[in-house]
Amino acid sequence: MKKFQLRSVKNWWPGRKVSKSPPHQLSDYTSLIFFSVILGMAAGLTAVGLHEFIHWMNTFFLPADFEAAFPGRLPYWIILIPAVGMLIQWLMAHRFPQQAKQKGVVDVIKSVSFRNGFIPLKSTLFHFLAPAICMGTGGTVGPEAPAAQSGAGVVSALGQLFRLKGDKLRIFTAAGAGAAIAGVFNTPLAGVFFGIEVILLNDLHASALTAFILSSVSASAVSRAFLGNQPKFIFGELVLGSYSTFVFYLLLGLGAGLLSIAFIQTSEFFQKTFARLYQRQVSPLLVMISIGLLMGAAGWWKPQILGIGYTSINKMLAHSFTGQTILILFLLKFFLVIFILRSGGFGGIFAPSMFLGACYGFIFSQGLNILFHLHLDPTTYTLVGMGAMLAGINSVPITAILILFEMTNNYHFILPLMLGTVGSHVVTHIALRGSIYLRELRREGYTYAFGRDLHILRSIRVKEVTRPDILLLPESAPSSEVIKKFLDSQHDTIYVVNPNNQITGVIKSNTLRYVLAEYEQLHHLLLASDIADPDVVFLRSDDTLEEAMKIFAHHRVEEIPVLDSANPRQIIGTLHYQDVLNAYNQLLNRLNLAEGLASEFKTLQEDALQEVIPGFSLAEVDVPEEFAGKSIGELQLRNKYRIDVLMVEEGAQSVFSGREERKKQVMPDKDYVLHRDDHLIIYGRTLDVINFKKIAEQV
């Protein structure tokens, strides 16, 4: 049985006739607007709730104003508070290990890309509470990833309650993550592009854009209603400098790219380090409490490092810190964020990225001012540094530009911001060849392909496209027979086999040219085994076309021998490159045909037909009781009824369970066994479709 993600929200059928919907049923576009607004507001409320819960935790554990509460040195008990937070997080992870693994933005990407937007409610609740506890007890991480994960999870749960299925749930879940970011920063456009750049990994479909925009605007409106319209960062007038100084913004961006690479690689190094420690039976509890004590000691020394860090960024923008203090804060933030997250803590890296960028931008501008007697504005460079580090570490150049641009609302600021942000992103992308999220997915064993190509290629086995017509010769065949066989055949390649019919070598046409050149002297000496190249590149019959395409691309060949998976070295045929392309195109056309039904059939009456082209129609029918328990191949629907089954729709998921109880939409093969509660999407000549529907209703 082959599974596919149905990505298009709508499909256009030339010449189609759409049945009239019942008067009470909303159109697809109207329902899209309705759900985008409602679910966007839900994501916004989630972001507001997370903000308030973190604030309550901070109030409970830490003084709101350290300087007012403790005019002198901070008390030593401050050191224990982050350790308490790490202890609570360990207890939560120990009690709910499955939810603890579904961590951060990467899990939202996986749910959207591989689970059709399904996020268990338990996971949503866990990742609402755990990061808030981390930040509320002084952990120097960010709320954006938890907000995105919580927003996506709430939208996913509500979408399932509203019975949104397949592609619609996937799109709204991704939009919920972006909407939550819009609510956190009060930047609706940035929320839209966060969903596109991070959650969809730049795999934008135009049909999703409406949902993203409306959800983000709704979430931002909710955030403003509850939290006010005040931006996160407060600063005075920006001094951009003359155009001749704009090169410094580009240099700032390039340096931010190098720092982003250092951050990502350091983070990956410590991830492996902590993993090795835990594999050696070192207690995670001991490690996490130690990291918490280290965090507490740093906070006792420099209180500005505790918590998210927005207040400290505003003080940098107001020039309230010395350069030495900012450098210390940069180093503390750089390592403590990595230690907390990689040891097992929960939180995001958006806010830390901006904190690091603010420190770097301030130090960069002040350093050039001192060394070269320039007059660069530290506030402007601090803001550009924030965008540059945000783009470099998270691979979100457009999101970074829009967050800072929407906060400044200064059109003149856009060019310096673009220079710094794009420069940082380019350096990071060239060096690391992918975002931090894609690298995390690869480490976990996931391969992400843009569009549906990978899913289609993975769904087809090599044996389904193998040509059984091959040219075989025994190893003992003389060279004269090899040449004769080659000249009498249409094949370009001869495969040499041993007495057990196992492949031992391959003879190609270019090899025979050298034999023919010396034929008079060598023809009585050479056997097929002497001519054959023993280094044979082959495929197994159970391999997928994805693996075949990798071999075709690497070895630049036109055909590959196929061996029987059950009998190694037993050749059963050959796979040709053109056959792979043909199989891909045929299944892609079939998938495109079925995709429209994922959304279009929701607006049709139950018994309606949908004409695709004149004379050919689609219809949805329930599985007849007598068909249940039988495979599609066994029923021989094409031979008996002259119709094709394009898609099978199964039962719904449980919103509150931690797993998917049933799959949703399936592209079946001949071995797929039908169930009583399945619904078939059938295609064929209109008269044949009508006849089958009548037969199905009578059985």
pLDDT at residue 537, as a whole number: 81
| Closest C-alpha to 183, from 140, 247, 226 | 226
3-state secondary structure 275-330: HHHHHCCCCHHHHHHHHHHHHHHHHHHCHHHCCCCHHHHHHHHCCCCCHHHHHHHH
Stronger pLDDT, 366 or 607, i.e. the higher one: 366
- Would you say residue 308 has pLDDT above 50? yes
Cα separation of 312 and 329, whole Å?
A: 9
pLDDT at residue 21, as a whole number: 43
- The full DSSP string for 675-696 is -TT-EEEEEEEHHHHHHHHHHH
What is the tens place of the pLDDT at every residue in 50-84?
A: 989 998 888 888 765 555 556 667 788 889 999 99
643 φ, ψ (degrees, to nearest 5):
-130, 160
**Pairing mode, if any, of strands 616-622 and 493-497?**
unpaired
- Triad 264, 303, 340: Cα angle to 5°: 35
pLDDT at residue 236, as a whole number: 83
| 661 token code pair | 């109880």
| Closest C-alpha to 678, from 645, 634, 633 | 645
pLDDT at residue 613, as a whole number: 62
Q: What is the DSSP letter of 568?
A: T
pLDDT at residue 487, as a whole number: 72
User: Assign residue 642 a region: left if phi > 0, alpha if psi is -120 to 50, beta otherwise?
Assistant: left
Stronger pLDDT, 153 or 520, i.e. the higher one: 153
Q: Is residue 594 part of a domain?
A: no
3-state secondary structure 618-644: EEEEECCHHHCCCEHHHHCHHHHHCEE
- Would you say residue 114 has pLDDT above 50? yes
**pTM (predicted TM-score):** 0.66
pLDDT at residue 663, as a whole number: 47
| 690 token code pair | 């009508």
8 Å CB contact between 563 and 503: yes
Mean pLDDT of 315-327: 92
Sheet holding 665-667, edge to edge: 2-3, 665-667, 643-649, 679-685, 616-622, 610-613
Cα separation of 587 and 565, whole Å?
A: 24
Mean pLDDT score of the chain: 80
pLDDT at residue 423, as a whole number: 95
Stronger pLDDT, 27 or 151, i.e. the higher one: 151
- Would you say residue 639 has pLDDT above 60? yes
Among 558, 578, 598, give the residue marking a domain's end: 578
What is the tens place of the pLDDT at every residue in 334-382?
A: 999 999 999 999 999 999 999 999 999 999 999 999 999 999 999 999 9
8 Å CB contact between 401 and 417: yes
What is the tens place of the pLDDT at every residue in 288-307?
A: 999 999 999 999 999 899 98
Q: Is residue 680 part of a domain?
A: yes
| Closest C-alpha to 572, from 463, 473, 494, 477 | 463
8 Å CB contact between 191 and 182: yes
What is the tens place of the pLDDT at every residue in 534-543?
A: 877 888 888 8
| Closest C-alpha to 644, from 605, 598, 600, 589 | 589
Among 429, 448, 467, give the residue marking a domain's end: 448
Stronger pLDDT, 559 or 415, i.e. the higher one: 415
Q: How far apart are the first and last CA of the chain?
A: 25
- Would you say residue 443 has pLDDT above 90? no
Residues 610 and 571 in one domain: no
Residues 86 and 213 in one domain: yes
CATH number at residue 612: 3.30.70.1450
Residues 153 and 82 in one domain: yes
> What percent of the chain is predicted at pLDDT more than 70?
81
pLDDT at residue 654, as a whole number: 40
- Would you say residue 18 has pLDDT above 60? no
| 693 token code pair | 């529907």
Q: Which residue has the tokens 């495979």?
A: 631
Q: Is residue 507 part of a domain?
A: yes
CATH number at residue 508: 3.10.580.10
Residues 306 and 366 in one domain: yes
Quote the number of domains for the chain: 3
> What percent of the chain is predicted at pLDDT more than 90?
29
Residues 417 and 543 in one domain: no
**pLDDT confidence of 411, banded at 50, 70, 90?**
confident
pLDDT at residue 488, as a whole number: 75
pLDDT at residue 287, as a whole number: 94
Stronger pLDDT, 598 or 154, i.e. the higher one: 154
Domain ranges, residue 488: 458-578
Residues 352 and 495 in one domain: no
What is the tens place of the pLDDT at every residue in 119-137?
A: 888 889 999 999 999 999 9
- Would you say residue 286 has pLDDT above 90? yes
CATH number at residue 310: 1.10.3080.10
pLDDT at residue 254, as a whole number: 96
pLDDT at residue 141, as a whole number: 94
pLDDT at residue 469, as a whole number: 82
What is the tens place of the pLDDT at every residue in 495-535?
A: 888 888 788 888 877 666 666 666 555 555 677 777 777 87
Angle between helices 378-394 and 310-317 (to 10 degrees): 140
Residues 141 and 170 in one domain: yes
Q: Is residue 475 part of a domain?
A: yes
- Would you say residue 450 has pLDDT above 50? no
| Closest C-alpha to 157, from 105, 624, 149, 101 | 149
Residues 316 and 403 in one domain: yes
pLDDT at residue 434, as a whole number: 75
Q: Is residue 166 part of a domain?
A: yes
pLDDT at residue 80, as a whole number: 94
Residues 182 and 307 in one domain: yes
What is the tens place of the pLDDT at every residue in 372-401?
A: 999 999 999 999 999 999 999 998 899 999
Cα separation of 421 and 195, whole Å?
A: 18
Q: What is the DSSP letter of 497?
A: E
pLDDT at residue 393, as a whole number: 94
Residues 54 and 195 in one domain: yes
- Would you say residue 408 has pLDDT above 60? yes
Residues 438 and 393 in one domain: yes
Q: Is residue 121 part of a domain?
A: yes
pLDDT at residue 26, as a whole number: 55
8 Å CB contact between 685 and 615: yes
Q: Is residue 490 part of a domain?
A: yes
- Would you say residue 402 has pLDDT above 80? yes
| Closest C-alpha to 507, from 483, 538, 540 | 483
Sheet holding 539-540, edge to edge: 539-540, 559-563, 571-576
- Would you say residue 578 has pLDDT above 60? yes
**pLDDT confidence of 490, banded at 50, 70, 90?**
confident
- Would you say residue 158 has pLDDT above 70? yes
Q: Is residue 533 part of a domain?
A: yes
Residues 399 and 484 in one domain: no
- Would you say residue 603 has pLDDT above 50? no
Stronger pLDDT, 437 or 329, i.e. the higher one: 329
